[in-house]
Amino acid sequence: MWNHCFSMFEFPPDVEITEHIKTVSSMAFLWSKISSVLPSNEEQFPLQFGDKVESSVVEILKRSRQQLYSDTASACRMLNAQIILDISWERLNTGTWRHVDKEWRRIYSHGCLFKVGALCRESPSEEEIMQAIRTCDMGLLMGAAIMDDILQLVVGILQSELSKAAKDEEESEHVEVKRAKIESLHIPSLKEEMAIPRIKCPSLESFNANYLLPLKPVILEGIIDHWPALNNKCWSIDYLRSVAGCRTVPVEVGSRYTDENWSQTLLTVNEFIDRYILNKIQSPQDGGKALGYLAQHQLFDQIPELKEDIRIPDYCCLGEGEEDEITVNAWFGPAGTVSPLHQDPQQNFLAQVVGSKYIRLYSPEDTDKLYPHQSKLLHNTSQVEVENPDPERFPEFAKAPYLECVLKPADVLFIPVKHWHYVRSLEVSFSVSFWWS
C-alpha cells in the first residue's frame, strides 16, 4: 500500500540530497578502508615496549588494541586513546627533546592511531575526518614510526575522503598572490664584484674539483628544470591546497627566530595560506602584523605526494653519506621572511621553486667579524642585523667580505659547510634545502 501511495507522486531528483547520500555512503565505508591497512586481528597487532614503560600504561594500550577490533562504544575507545595521548604527551614535554625516550614517542603514535579508530569507526562527519587527519599529523610530527609507518597510510586514506578546494576561489587567489608579489617585491642593488658565480650543469668531476673540495659557493643552473614542481605539477597556491591543504604543519611566527616575540604554532596548510600568504585572516595574537613561515620542516616525509614533485640533486652522491641520510626541508612563506646570518654543520643545496630570495654569504674564516651569539643555543647565529648593522656595537662587521645573489626559480645555490648565510624572501617564496655530508 505504501509503495502504491508513493508511486502516485513524482519527486524531481535533488542534486544536493543525492550528493549528500553519496558522501554519507563514502564515510560509512571509510573504516573498512582503514581496516585494510591494519593487522588483520588483535593477535597480529604488535605492542612491545621496554622496561621504561610502566605496566599500567601497557595495560591501557592493550585495552585500546582490544577495542580497535571489537564493537566497544565510541566514547570508551576515545577515553582510552586520550589517556594514552595525555600520558605520553607529558613524557614528550619533560626535559629536552633530544633526551625523550623513543619508546614514549612510539606510545604517542599508538595513541594517535587508537584515537583515529575512535573517530572514524562509525560513519564520521567531515569535521571528525579533519580531526583524524590532524591526529595523524601530530603522530607523524611528534611520535615515532610504528608498524611500517601506518599513520602515513591512514592519513592518505583520510585525505582522499575530503573534497577538493572550492573551484570558485581559484581566480581570486591567483590575482591576490600576483598582487602580493608586486607590492612586496624589494630587490636590493647588487654589487657585481660580490656576485656569487653561476655555472650551467657542471659535470660531477668539475663540481667536485672546482667547488665542493675548495668549498666555494656557486649557483647551479639547469639541474632541476626537470622537476615536476617546476613543470606539470607547478606549485601554485591551488595545487598546494589540493595536495596538502588539510595537513597540520609547524609554523614560525615572527620576523626571525632571534626575536623575543618569536614563537611557533600548529596550523593546517590552508590556515597558513589564508593567514600569512593571502592575508585573508588576521591572527588575534598578532593583529595580523606578524609574519608566518613554514620553515626548516621535513614536509616531504610528512606528505609523500609533494616528495614526488622534486628530486635529490645528483651532486649529493659526492658526499660520504647514504641517500636516506640527506635531510630535505621545506621553506614556504610570504615576502619579508628572514633567516638571520647563521651557519650549518653540513653541505647545503638550496633550490628555489617559487618566488625569489636575497642571499648573502660569508666565509667561516671571517667568523670573528660576524659576532656570533655567546649562548650555547644560538652559537651558530650572528648578532648582527645584516641589512641594518649597528657599527658601534659591531665595528668589525663592515670589514668582512661577502658574496650575494638573488636566487630565482630553478636556481640551486651551493652553500658550503660552515659558510655563514643570510636569507630574505623578496616575494611569496617556496625553497627546498638538501643538507648532506
Q: What is the pLDDT of residues 227-281, one digit of tens each?
A: 999 998 999 999 999 999 999 999 999 877 877 788 899 999 999 999 999 987 7
> What pLDDT sits at residue 324?
86
pLDDT band at 2 (very low <50, low <70, confident <90, very high): very low
Min mean pLDDT across 259-263, 298-302, 427-431 is at 259-263
* Mean pLDDT within 199-217: 98
Confidence of residue 41 (pLDDT cuts 50, 70, 90): very high
pLDDT at 21 (0 to 100): 45
Q: Count CA atoms closer than 13 A to 121's CA, side-chain side.
A: 17
Judge whether residue 182 has pLDDT over 50.
no
* pLDDT tens digits along 349-363: 999 999 999 999 999
185: pLDDT confidence band, cut at 50, 70 and 90? low
Q: What does the pLDDT read at residue 97?
A: 87
What would the grid cell of residue 54 be?
610502566
Q: How far apart, in whole angstroms, are the C-alpha atoms of residue 263 and residue 252?
A: 6
SS in 3 state form for the chain? CHHHHHHCCCCCCCHHHHHHHHHHHHHHCHHHHHHCCCCCCHHHCCCCCCCCCCHHHHHHHHHHHHHHCCCCCHHHHHHHHHHHHHHHHHHHCCCCHHHCCHHHHHHHHHHHHHHHHHHHCCCCCHHHHHHHHHHHHHHHHHCCCCCCCHHHHHHHHHHHHCCCCCHHHHHHHHHHHHHHHHHHCCCCCCCHHHECCEEECCCHHHHHHHHHCCCCCEEEECCCCCCHHHCCCCCCHHHHHHHHCCCEEEEEECCCCCCCCCEEEEEEHHHHHHHHHCCCCCCCCCCCCCCEEEEEECHHHHCHHHHCCCCCCHHHHHCCCCHHHCEEEEEEECCCCEEEEECCCCEEEEEEEECCEEEEEECHHHHHHCCECCCCCCCCEECCCCCCCCCCCCCCHHHCCCEEEEECCCCEEEECCCCEEEEEECCCEEEEEEEEC
The domains located in the chain, with CATH, are: 2-161 (no CATH), 186-231+300-436 (2.60.120.650)
pLDDT at 28 over 80: no
- pLDDT single digits (tens) 363-373: 999 999 999 99
Mean pLDDT, rounded, for 34-47: 96
The whole-model pTM stands at: 0.86
Q: Tell me which of 171 and 397 has the higher pLDDT.
A: 397
* pLDDT single digits (tens) 98-143: 899 999 999 999 999 999 999 999 889 999 999 999 999 999 999 9
Whether the predicted pLDDT of 47 surpasses 80: yes
pLDDT at 186 over 70: no
Give the residue-averaged pLDDT of 409-432.
Answer: 98
pLDDT score for 120? 95
